[in-house]
Structure 1
Amino acid sequence: MLRSPAAEDPGAVSDALVILGTLAEERGRGTAGIALFTGRAVTSAAAPAGTRDARGCDLSYDGCRVVTGRAAFSRVWRPELLPLLDVAPLVLGCTGRTAPEPPDGRRDAGPLVVPGAGAGVVGACDGGAPAERVLRLLADLPGGAAAAAETLGAALPGRAALAWVDRARPDRVHLARAARRPLAVAVDTEQNLYWASDPRWLRTVRRHTRVRFATAVMLREGTYLRAGLGGPDGRPHVLGSAGFTPAARGAGEFAATA
């Protein structure tokens, strides 16, 4: 979710985000997480502060708080996060199936915090993409829609959709849909921007919250979209877009993003 600073009902926006995370459990209940951005740009990665154990973690990076767990979203989400959610300009959520343990015995649920030449990125992937490797490539891009599309075309398999944020620009979200994985984008009547792995979830949000969508679209396969706060009214706007041809189609499923 990318929050409009002019929104008069921030609570409704937060309710919608939590509902989207809960609905995403149909894609998997083994891991889940949420990244809440403070809106403060950073220029270098800082050592995170917080807690980490076998069940998950709650870590505060410079400009971002990431809470993840090896459980369903409804169990990872905690009411004490609501005050931060109500004011966060940008939020990423992720759910997925439990994956096999790696050799070192540790696996973090998404969203993933990936370092780069600068501040790095935070991202969530839906599909069979090697998420961390793709995010590392995107973290070191010089910028611009053409460069992002070229990287996505080379690295993102067909069965994938991706959402990520450059920590140096926490007022912008980058969205990409390869193929065979849906990615819907919607704007409500107060100009808040939402994205989700399934358009049905947006209809459920409309029925059960005060949010009313002005428009909702399914991104075309092979689409990169960058949106951010700006313009004379400070509200979310589309800042750039480009098309790309996805790499060889991948197999398997990883997660759902919201």
Structure 2
Amino acid sequence: MCGLFGLLRSPHADHPERASDALVALGALAEERGTDSAGLALFTGRPVAHGAEGPAAGTADDRRSDISHDGVRVVKGRGAFGGVWGTGLLPLLDAAPLAFGHTRWATQGSPFSLDNASPLVVPGPHGAPGIVATHNGDVEAGLLRARYSLPPATGTTDSEPLFQILARARGTAEITGVLRGLVGRAALAWADRSRPGEVHLARAALSPLAVAADTDRNLYWASNPDWFRRVQDATAVRFATVVMLREGTYLRLTPGDVPARAGFVPTARDWDLDDRVWTGFTPADRDADRARLRHLVVGNATAGPRVA
């Protein structure tokens, strides 16, 4: 039941530090959905050209890593978000057009390996820059590996093979085709490193995801809609809209443009429906979201689906 949060900046915002404060506050709130590890990816705003991937550089040990890839800096560590975040990152965050955050509650893959911590940097095919990605949920990774020919994985999570597939997908039809084929719980946020001004969000079965816009036209996402209310109470940011995505929603967001939206029918297993999906939710938010569920259900990975 991991926590997702992130920020896609408006290039016209007058006070970038306010959105930065909101993102850090979201990270602190996301600790309620996982403290096995946490991470933050900060984009530089420089698109990475195909075939221009340089070697990653930075420091890493068994508890913390700080790696600069071409176009993005990724800081991860075991434990809570508060142990990963540091004020030394503020100048980069204030300038970043795009930032991804994640707090992990491990379901597949060791909680002690930072190769399993997110955000993940996943290469694209044939030397393409690939994507930076985060996932809340638990999906049938074996089905993905059986269906697709994938390169060797770095870690042992279910998230990595999913994002290896999405790193190859081009266009809405291909992306929703991948999402339609998932079995299990999934909320996803990812960006192509060659397009740092655009983010992809998806809610498949169960795992919650909310999207918000502030009065400066910055866009945010988070695993709990109540976090936005609490951020508004604690910072100078004011939210104009907060929307809880329905299951089976895919969005492509670009600042100032109308979101590109598509729907699909998601599939969960019969044991996925568990109140821990809504960890940290107010009772009203939980009940409202649960009343709108619309996924198919399978009893096991190979059984035929039925409507929830």
Aligned partner (choices 11, 34, 37) of residue 5 of structure 1: 11
Give 5+ residue unaligned stretches, structure 1. 230-234
Compared with structure 1, are the counterparts of its residues 105 and 180 closer, same or farther at alpha carbon in structure 2 (3 Å cutoff)? closer
Compared with structure 1, are the counterparts of its residues 146 and 100 closer, same or farther at alpha carbon in structure 2 (3 Å cutoff)? closer
TM-score, normalised to structure 2's length? Answer: 0.75
In structure 2, how many angstroms separate the alpha carbons of the residues matched to 1:105 and 1:27?
19
Letter in 2 for 1:163: A
The equivalences for 1:161-240 within 5 A come to 161-229=187-255, 235=256, 237-240=257-260
CA displacement, residues 103-135 of structure 1 (integer Å, 9 cap, x when unaligned): x96634100011111111110001113211111
- Match of 1:202, SS? helix
Query: 1:202 offset after TM fit, Å?
Result: 0.6
Letter in 2 for 1:174: H
Alignment of 1:131 with 2:159, yes or no, is: yes
Give 5+ residue unaligned stretches, structure 2. 1-6, 140-157, 280-308
State whether residues 101 and 107 of structure 1, in contact with CA within 8 Å, keep that contact through their aligned partners in structure 2: no
Compared with structure 1, are the counterparts of its residues 186 and 164 closer, same or farther at alpha carbon in structure 2 (3 Å cutoff)? same
CA displacement, residues 187-226 of structure 1 (integer Å, 9 cap, x when unaligned): 0111000000000101101111111111110111000000
- RMSD in angstroms over aligned alpha carbons? 2.1
CA displacement, residues 151-209 of structure 1 (integer Å, 9 cap, x when unaligned): 11113x34210000111111110000012111000001110000000001011011111
In structure 2, the residue matched to 1:232 is none
State whether residues 70 and 98 of structure 1, in contact with CA within 8 Å, keep that contact through their aligned partners in structure 2: no
Letter in 1 for 2:55: A
Letter in 2 for 1:147: E
Aligned partner (choices 52, 60, 66) of residue 52 of structure 1: 60
Compared with structure 1, are the counterparts of its residues 99 and 246 closer, same or farther at alpha carbon in structure 2 (3 Å cutoff)? closer
In structure 1, how many angstroms separate the alpha carbons of the residues matched to 2:63 and 2:71?
24
In structure 2, how many angstroms separate the alpha carbons of the residues matched to 1:79 and 1:244?
40
- Match of 2:134, SS? strand
State whether residues 2 and 193 of structure 1, in contact with CA within 8 Å, keep that contact through their aligned partners in structure 2: yes
- Match of 2:8, SS? coil
The equivalences for 1:44-193 within 5 A come to 44=51, 45-98=53-106, 107-117=115-125, 118-129=128-139, 130-141=158-169, 143-155=170-182, 157-193=183-219
In structure 1, how many angstroms separate the alpha carbons of the residues matched to 2:129 and 2:210?
28
Compared with structure 1, are the counterparts of its residues 78 and 192 closer, same or farther at alpha carbon in structure 2 (3 Å cutoff)? same
Aligned length: 246
- Match of 2:181, SS? helix
TM-score, normalised to structure 1's length? Answer: 0.89
After TM superposition, the runs of 4+ consecutive aligned structure 1 residues lying more than 3 A away are: 98-102, 104-108, 247-254
Query: 1:244 offset after TM fit, Å?
Result: 1.1
Larger Rg: 2
Percent identity between the aligned chains? Answer: 53
Compared with structure 1, are the counterparts of its residues 210 and 47 closer, same or farther at alpha carbon in structure 2 (3 Å cutoff)? same
Query: 1:99 offset after TM fit, Å?
Result: 6.2
In structure 2, how many angstroms separate the alpha carbons of the residues matched to 1:19 and 1:91?
13
- Match of 1:107, SS? helix
CA displacement, residues 10-42 of structure 1 (integer Å, 9 cap, x when unaligned): 111000000001100001111000000011111
State whether residues 42 and 98 of structure 2, in contact with CA within 8 Å, keep that contact through their aligned partners in structure 1: yes
